[in-house]
Structure 1
């Protein structure tokens, strides 16, 4: 009995395999898949293999002019499509330089003084106060604070072990202010 050839893996499965191999985060995978599907639907279900730079530019222009998306959103869509063409389809976009990345508007951040930050933290109820103190003292992101476990806190060395952190950083020192309150 002759064997029928296996069908090529679906685009979603190919993307998943490559992103896992490159150790991208699950959130990045979900975001990239969202934009790839958006791109395909925007161009009336044409396969990305049948499209190129012009269609990518059309989508990005439409997002900016009709959907008024933020610069970061527009850049995320571009990054997803560049990844798709370069790593999944292995057809790198040739004239990617012609597609301008959206510029983020510069805003001055509102920064609290040390005293103001301590005052705000002091107003929080006990479990939230500890979390806010750790975030402030160690410079944690919300997602990093949510993943903390008791075994991640080293009281002797005043360090936190941060797992799956952005940028692959493994640990953060706890400042003296937070270390004292622990």
Structure 2
């Protein structure tokens, strides 16, 4: 497929057109706003790294040089390098329509296998005891259900089943749906949160505000659904914001950084010296279930892992320290 006519000297006017085409291709595939920003950002860096040359004039050598630069000069993590590669491949394959026979020669980054940080039960209790309000409820929900941060924030009212004690996670990682457990102890707090959300929902209705964001162009198929209670956020933001894609002012869900900051503050106050993130609660959920005798396949389904080998990493966490090998020094019985 022949690329659009361009010249190296006209890189500046050509670049916005290329990025607009890429943005359209991303949105047609219903990728998230975060993925869109990330992919466009990496393509901009790739073009600038090669002196504003048009990507159609470049290939495997240039891609490999850029990826190598990220590691050798920028010292980025393997996951970051992989993200950059994914963005560039999307550009060539889905935007430029260029065949990629040179891909076999591009060294793909390998993510090092590291054991996740896991809190023991006492540490979880100390951290959660220091968190209250919505942040405390979300932290307990993450530990009690194994959801990821954005899965929790994007929860809709219709996906919380208080009677069956289930949560339907929509469009999780890999764009897959799954069902996970709703802790019994969180039913009453969730009812209270839904009442607070209902008040904001009715306020928006009274003010004639636009409905919430709808995924996969459902707002065109079901125009009234975005303004219905079932589609409203379980954890709505206090204020309104501009939708970056449509320019519509509407109520979004809470911002992820607020919970991240609250958890980090609580973990420091609890005296935990290890690096704790929101994802640590998900790791702790899986490890504690495994430790209590739950089978690995059930945990895989609750976490939404495509391959059980991903879930198996938690068995390695259990095999450390007091749960695994006994030190030979302890066998000597020496006390000084």
Matches within 5 A, 1:15-34: 15-34=22-41
| Structure 1 residues 77-107: Cα deviation after superposition (integer angstroms, max 9, x where no partner) | 1111111111100113212122112222222
Contact 2:59 2:102 in 1 (8 A): no
Q: 2:173 corresponds to which residue?
A: 166
TM-score after normalising by structure 2: 0.47
Larger relative contact order, structure 1 or 2 (CA cutoff 8 Å, min sep 6)? 2
Contact 1:158 1:173 in 2 (8 A): yes
Matches within 5 A, 1:8-157: 10-157=17-164
TM-score after normalising by structure 1: 0.83
Contact 1:121 1:129 in 2 (8 A): yes
Contact 1:82 1:92 in 2 (8 A): no
Unaligned runs of 5+ in 1: 1-6
Unaligned runs of 5+ in 2: 1-13, 191-336
CA drift of 1:129 comes to 2.1
The answer to which of 9-18 and 52-61 deviates more is 9-18
CA–CA distance in structure 2, aligned partners of residues 12 and 90 of structure 1: 14
- Find the residue that maps to 1:55 and give its secondary structure: helix
Instruction: Give the structure with higher Rg (CA).
Output: 2
Number of residue pairs matched by the alignment: 175
The answer to which of 147-156 and 30-39 deviates more is 147-156
| Structure 1 residues 107-162: Cα deviation after superposition (integer angstroms, max 9, x where no partner) | 22222234542443233224322111111112122222223354542211212244
CA–CA distance in structure 2, aligned partners of residues 90 and 11 of structure 1: 12
Going from structure 1 to structure 2, the CA distance change for 1:181 and 1:115 (only over 3 Å counts) comes to farther
The answer to which of 97-106 and 131-140 deviates more is 97-106
The answer to which of 112-121 and 19-28 deviates more is 112-121
CA–CA distance in structure 2, aligned partners of residues 116 and 179 of structure 1: 23
| Structure 1 residues 25-70: Cα deviation after superposition (integer angstroms, max 9, x where no partner) | 2211111111111111111111101111111111111111111111
Contact 1:137 1:177 in 2 (8 A): no
Please report the RMSD computed on the Cα atoms of aligned residues, expressed in angstroms: 2.4
